[in-house]
Amino acid sequence: MDKTTLSALGEILGDRLRTDFETRTAYSFDALRKKFLPDAVGFPGDAAEVQRIVQLANRLRFPVVPRGAGTGFSGGSLPVHGGLVLSTERMDRILAIDTENLYAVVEPGVLTGALKEEVRKIGLFYPPDPASLKFSTIGGNIAECAGGMCAVKYGVTRDYVLALEAVLGTGELVRTGVVTMKGVAGYDLTRMLVGSEGTLGIITKATLKLIPLPESVTTLLALFPSNRHSADAVNAIVAARVTPAAMELMDRTAIDTVRETIPVDLPEGTRSALLIEVDGQELAVAREADRIAEACRSRGALEVRRASDAKGRDGLWTLRRSISPALRRVGAVKMNEDIVVPRSRLADMFDFLADLAARKRVTNVNFGHAGDGNVHVNFMVSGTDPDETRRAEEAVEEVFRAAVEMGGTITGEHGVGIIKAPFLEMEVGPMGISVMKRLKNCFDPNGILNPGKIFPEEAATAH
């Protein structure tokens, strides 16, 4: 970025434009842990400033990379071609909560957890719950269409986005959607922007649907001798016409990994676990929990534990919550995938993963949102053995292929970013890529927004 460009950006942002090495370094990586230094980092305060920046970028031709909190796992916020990282940190206001029409209007830099907490205080519920909710932003969640534990019952971020305001790659401001429950005027540009990973527009305001807060929650932990038993129980629960708010499967690798770091009291022979949560009205919740416990026992559960009070529920969550911290001890580098298969193929996928680990001589730790077939596959490597890394990379490709062959997807919630770009065609085909590129060209003809993402290109070099 030359001096003219930096000084023009400075005129828009003043001291909210940073070019010092420390700031550029702090904004050079995300949770993928690859590093690309931006030329500058900007902190606009409103949509008008965002618009002026993108208009300038079109005139002087530099990349603009939107960034929320940088917790993405696919490298979406990395400035792989340099340019300006545009942080939404300063656009962090909850602008309105409409308690009659049940929606909230927020700026993109609002933390998801902050919005959830604010509406909870008045008996309302914003369901999307990525595990990163305490530190990821609404803008990032919308751009990735974040999911979470409760997607099985409540859906994902896209299901709560009613309307958006965004600055397109052209620098034009567009308002999409409606605040009413119905609205079919023209193309659904809101859905187009959701999950677009900052490549079509920069979201500057979002109107999000709220629902009443469930009055009661019960958690169950069912312990099984194998993944087949767990997967059978998932089907039995669905057949019992219960829709849990969460249904998390942990396989033997995940259970063993946790037990190596903290003591967890489990019955002899536990090889798989299902953590299930039901919410709603108290009496209905109690009845549903009974049906779930019965379904698990009928499918060979070794034990079913249950709690409705906060402390007891928290205890049951320990096993699931401890997986991510425990993973750090297994390998220095985590290749973290988030494939999805139809729920009925979950057991096949877990069998495939066990066989793959043995065949490729790699360690993988697997757990998933079983209710929606979303499996987090983590290949753990030392990072110091090139042959081990190569085998793990080959295994990742096999996992993607298997997921697509089983009728699923290569990414359920983390997005394509840079890391899955080489595999996108495997799922959407050449025509899918071609149509997506044409859409990109329409929203961002000069390729200003987040270049190098989603579409396969010559690998950019991290530095």
Ligand X SMILES: Cc1cc2nc3c(=O)[nH]c(=O)nc-3n(C[C@H](O)[C@H](O)[C@H](O)COP(=O)(O)OP(=O)(O)OC[C@H]3O[C@@H](n4cnc5c(N)ncnc54)[C@H](O)[C@@H]3O)c2cc1C
Give residues in contact with ligand X (CB under 6 A): 30-31, 65-73, 76-77, 88, 108, 130-132, 136-137, 139-141, 143-144, 146-148, 197-198, 202-203, 413-414, 450
- The least CB distance from residue 48 to ligand X, in Å, is 15
- The least CB distance from residue 442 to ligand X, in Å, is 17
- The least CB distance from residue 30 to ligand X, in Å, is 5
Nearer to ligand X, 251 or 338 (CB): 338
Please, which residues have CB within 8 angstroms of residue 35's CB and are 6 or more apart in sequence?
Answer: 28, 29, 78, 462, 463
215 neighbors 281 (Cβ within 8 angstroms): yes
Nearer to ligand X, 128 or 280 (CB): 128
Residue with tokens 């031709």: 61
- The least CB distance from residue 31 to ligand X, in Å, is 4
Nearer to ligand X, 72 or 288 (CB): 72
Nearer to ligand X, 137 or 230 (CB): 137
- The least CB distance from residue 107 to ligand X, in Å, is 9
Please, which residues have CB within 8 angstroms of residue 422's CB and are 6 or more apart in sequence?
Answer: 456
- The least CB distance from residue 91 to ligand X, in Å, is 8
Q: Is 385 exposed, middle or buried (0-12, 13-18, 19+ CB in 10 A)?
A: exposed
Nearer to ligand X, 148 or 373 (CB): 148
What is the Cα–Cα distance from 201 to 453, expressed in whole angstroms?
13
Nearer to ligand X, 128 or 236 (CB): 128
Nearer to ligand X, 105 or 146 (CB): 146
- The least CB distance from residue 36 to ligand X, in Å, is 13
- The least CB distance from residue 381 to ligand X, in Å, is 19
- The least CB distance from residue 245 to ligand X, in Å, is 14
Nearer to ligand X, 16 or 287 (CB): 16
What is the Cα–Cα distance from 378 to 172, expressed in whole angstroms?
40
Nearer to ligand X, 84 or 402 (CB): 84
